């Protein structure tokens, strides 16, 4: 089905980047005009990570599709571009929602998983059970991993908006949670990954 999404027009423009198409073009000066940007990893020179990137992008059997929130894409320290440069089979889509027509990989209704915590209405397969599941046992070679990159608030919005489409072919997978661990939920953790 190739329905045109009525909300599509309201969304910000969607761009697709991949390790194959990404080009190293010079970055325009920042507003201050002072901070120099690495033309390869697109990070400010003092935090350039080129020395840590593999000489050749890494080949993986699992294909990775990342929905990269437009706000996140404006951050110079975003880690998604680094991942896309590191993995040969990683594709970044800048947008707020996965839908038909946005990704040639997902349009094939692949054997896919997406990583996000469960809710009452959307249960998730614990990642520790993934190896034993049909997803890996029978079709592992074709597996596609979908990830959402944004703040927790944005990621929740992106998952909610994408599930109509994703649920046709993808399984929600969550990380194992230690019930005995104390502290707040993962939603209010400021987990130091960023921000
Ligand atoms: Zn660099």
Instruction: Provide the 8-state DSSP code for 131.
Output: T
CA of 138 to the centre of ligand 1 (A): 40
Q: What is the pLDDT of residue 139?
A: 60
> Which tens digit of pLDDT belongs to each residue from 23-65?
344 445 445 556 788 888 888 899 999 999 998 999 998 999 9
80 CA from centroid of ligand 1 (Å): 14
| Domain-wise residue ranges, the chain | 12-22+52-176
**128 CA to centre of ligand 1 in angstroms:** 35
User: E strands, the chain, where?
Assistant: 15-18, 63-68, 90-94, 112-115, 125-126, 144-149, 170-174
Ligand 1 center to 50 CA (angstroms): 4
Distance from Cα 17 to the centre of ligand 1, integer Å: 17
C-alpha gyration radius of the chain: 18
Distance 93 CA to ligand 1 centre (A): 21
Q: What is the pLDDT of residues 141-190, one digit of tens each?
A: 678 999 999 999 999 999 999 999 999 999 999 887 665 666 555 555 55
Among the listed residues 29, 20, 17, 28, the one whose alpha carbon sits nearest the alpha carbon of residue 78: 17
Give the environment of ion ligand 1: residues with CB less than 5 A.
Answer: 38, 40-41, 48, 50
- Among 33, 173, 154, CA closest to 94: 154
pLDDT greater than 80 at residue 195: no
């Amino acid at each position: 089905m190739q329905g045109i999404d009525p909300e599509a027009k309201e969304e910000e423009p969607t761009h697709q980047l991949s390790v194959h198409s990404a080009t190293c073009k010079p970055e325009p000066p920042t507003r201050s005009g002072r901070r120099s940007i690495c033309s390869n990893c697109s990070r400010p020179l003092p935090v350039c990570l080129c020395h840590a990137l593999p000489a050749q992008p890494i080949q993986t059997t699992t294909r990775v599709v990342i929905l990269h929130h437009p706000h996140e894409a404006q951050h110079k320290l975003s880690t998604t571009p680094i991942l896309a440069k590191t993995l040969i089979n990683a594709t970044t889509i800048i947008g707020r929602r996965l839908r038909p027509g946005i990704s040639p990989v997902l349009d094939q209704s692949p054997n896919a998983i997406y990583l996000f915590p469960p809710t009452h209405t959307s249960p998730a397969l614990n990642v520790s059970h993934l190896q034993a599941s049909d997803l890996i046992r029978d079709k592992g070679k074709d597996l596609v991993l979908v990830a959402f990159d944004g703040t927790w608030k944005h990621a929740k919005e992106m998952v909610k908006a994408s599930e109509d489409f994703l649920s046709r072919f993808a399984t929600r997978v969550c990380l194992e949670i230690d019930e005995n661990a104390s502290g707040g939920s993962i939603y209010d953790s400021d987990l130091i990954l960023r921000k």
